[in-house]
Chain A
Amino acid sequence: AQSVTQPDIHITVSEGASLELRCNYSYGATPYLFWYVQSPGQGLQLLLKYFSGDTLVQGIKGFEAEFKRSQSSFNLRKPSVHWSDAAEYFCAVGARTSYDKVIFGPGTSLSVIP
């Protein structure tokens, strides 16, 4: 069955500290992988995506993620968190073919302490 797990429901970090949000997936085919961010009351904004090639991908707002096929993981990282990064983060997986739905994880809520 296709699924996405985000083991951490909520994470709190201090401003300036590093951040890693975990994502594991189960998918029958080679997947496309995404990280989205959602601020309160708003829609989803794409942070970064992995389709193929270099397994370390750079995104917007200083985020990066690393695809590890052997671990079925796609963890999101940021070296120094800003207070404005406080939001809900969703990992998602989709098929390489264009005809399959995108599956989202349950999300990780990030709080930032000034």
Chain B
Amino acid sequence: DAGVTQSPTHLIKTRGQQVTLRCSPKSGHDTVSWYQQALGQGPQFIFQYYEEEERQRGNFPDRFSGHQFPNYSSELNVNALLLGDSALYLCASSLGQSVPQHFGDGTRLSIL
């Protein structure tokens, strides 16, 4: 039973660039949430996708956007990268927007 998978594992970008992170939910799940975890902090909710639509959004600027595909996989896009965007980006999946969510191992994004 495949869990939540994220790619890539690590990524290095420079300021001003754009990045796309990918997530495949746990088998049987249809809801994907994205979190940003800065070093030494708890995860912060970015947004949630269900039925290919953004359903909820946390306190993140429009530079952060996403997409959900018909197969329930999801992408997180960040434009105009800032140094402060350096973090571990976690994807979590669930069924029908329910809790608890199952988390992937994350993508470590470093901005130079």
Contacts and interface: CB of A to CB of B under 8 A. Distances in A.
A45 B99 contact: no
Contacts, number: 58
Interface string B86-112: 000010100011111111111010000
A43 B42 contact: no
B41 A107 contact: yes
By secondary structure, the A interface counts as strand
Interface residues of B, number: 27
A92 B105 CA distance: 18
Interface stretch (A13-21, A66-74, A95-103): A95-103
A42 interface: yes
B69 to A, nearest CB: 21
Contacts of A49: 99-100
A90 B42 contact: yes
Interface string B13-46: 0000000000000000000010100001111110
Given A49-B100, A101-B33, A44 B43 contact: yes
A99 B55 CA distance: 8
Nearest to A9: B40
B4 interface: yes
A46 B103 CA distance: 9
B42 A107 contact: yes
Given A43-B103, A46-B102, A101 B43 contact: no
B58 interface: yes
B57 to A, nearest CB: 9
A32 B106 contact: no
Interface string A79-114: 000000000001010100011111111110000000
